[in-house]
Amino acid sequence: MIRLSDVRFCYPTGEFRLAIPEMSVAAGEKVAVIGPSGSGKTTLLNLVAGILAPDNGSINIAGTDLDRATDQSRRDFRITTIGFIFQDFGLIDYLDVLDNILHPYRITSSLTLTAPIRQRALELAEQLGVDTRLKHHPATLSHGERQRVAICRALLPDPKLILADEATGNLDPDNKQLILDALFEATSTNHTTLLAVTHDHELLGRFDRIVDFRAFLVNEPEAS
Ligand code: ADP
Ligand code: MG
């Protein structure tokens, strides 16, 4: 599902360097990504999602070579194939919760918003406990509620690959389990691949495998 080969990346402004000689994740595999802050975990997810392009090497996702795709096709591919739960959620402030969850369907012709999809959006909102917030705007929600809305939005298109960037961070233990249950349920029913950055070491036992980012560090991150 994910194959990185000889990937190197650095930001145009900055010292940080990421080098991943080889990394593969099989379809259906559930992988936790751990590593110190600043070690490049978010950068990796952005490379896998095709939001960032590597300076060198190749990234193949679900049989598609991202480096050969045009910007437009990379974007459509991302919206239809990848459910990305961003570290800062990436919710749109001027849209209410329901419109945030439906948003992927409004920005690409590759997805069609049908009555069953709307119904599923409501079911997901209920499962994640945000069904009473559908007409609210993100700014009026708690941190945990925003996180769960971001998860509903990521899961709605039944993505083949879920990228979760600290989706359980800053939550109480019950909410952590609820969120992980929702992610794992989505991955097991659809044979979805899950790549999840986490600092919650008590959750690691639920994953098939752990990728530790210290292995990819070229330069130690500066102490902050
Ligand atoms: P992590 O998610 O593991 O905390 P990140 O991937 O966010 O790490 O960041 C890795 C390094 O890249 C950090 O040193 C960070 O400051 C730097 N960095 C992140 N985003 C940018 C950016 N847009 N421009 C320049 N440097 C960045
Ligand atoms: Mg990060």
User: Confidence band (pLDDT; 50, 70, 90) for 212?
Assistant: very high
Q: What is the pLDDT of residues 135-160, one digit of tens each?
A: 999 999 998 899 999 999 999 999 99
- Structural domains in the chain, CATH included, are 2-219 (3.40.50.300)
User: Confidence band (pLDDT; 50, 70, 90) for 165?
Assistant: very high
Considering only CA atoms, which of 194, 81, 100 is closest in space to residue 145?
100
Q: What is the pTM of this model?
A: 0.93
Distance between Cα 198 and ligand 2 center (Å):
9
- Would you say residue 79 has pLDDT above 70? yes
* Residue 216 pLDDT: 77
* Residue 209 pLDDT: 95
Considering only CA atoms, which of 144, 148, 103 is closest in space to residue 125?
148
User: Which atom of ligand 1 is least distant from the CA of 37?
Assistant: 4
- Would you say residue 202 has pLDDT above 90? no
- Would you say residue 64 has pLDDT above 60? yes
- Would you say residue 5 has pLDDT above 80? yes
* Residue 137 pLDDT: 98
- Burial degree of 154 (CB within 10 A; 0-12, 13-18, 19+): buried
- Would you say residue 7 has pLDDT above 80? yes
Question: Rounded to whole angstroms, what are the CA distances from 174 to 41, 42, 128, 178, 186?
Answer: 25, 25, 12, 6, 18
User: Which atom of ligand 1 is least distant from the CA of 87?
Assistant: 2
Collapsed DSSP state (helix, strand, coil) of residue 30: strand
